[in-house]
Amino acid sequence: MMLEKTTRLTYLFDFYQSLLTPKQKSYMSLYYLDDFSLGEIAEEYNVSRQAVYDNIKRTDAMLEQYEEKLLLFQKFQERQLLMSRLREFSSSIENSLEFEALLNELEKLD
């Protein structure tokens, strides 16, 4: 599995997991977050390796479709960039602690 693709899907899973079914969520979480192999997930759920593979592939595609429509990950990345540029102002601001606190709260909203 390409590292870059895995990172992207881990992010997409983070943004859109609330739209998935419990089974999709379990498979994705084991595969992308806990680094289980397809075989290990298959054993855990007493299904074929192929069934797990198909389910994960379909969920990957669903996540990409949600991203195409809602762009939450893309906007997150654009926001991160703007936030880091805003943070550069901090040193020149008198009440910089409050300023930093506001930026941190903003960042937590993503």
Nearer to a copy of itself, 35 or 69 (CB): 69
Q: How far apart are CB 6 and a copy of itself at their closest, in Å?
A: 23
7-30 as b/e: b if 16+ CB within 10 A: ebbebbbebbeeebeeebeebbeb
Nearer to a copy of itself, 48 or 65 (CB): 65
Please give the residue ranges that form the binding site for a copy of itself (CB under 8 A).
Answer: 16, 18-19, 69-70, 72, 75, 78-79, 82-83, 85-86, 89, 92-95, 99, 102-103, 105-106, 109
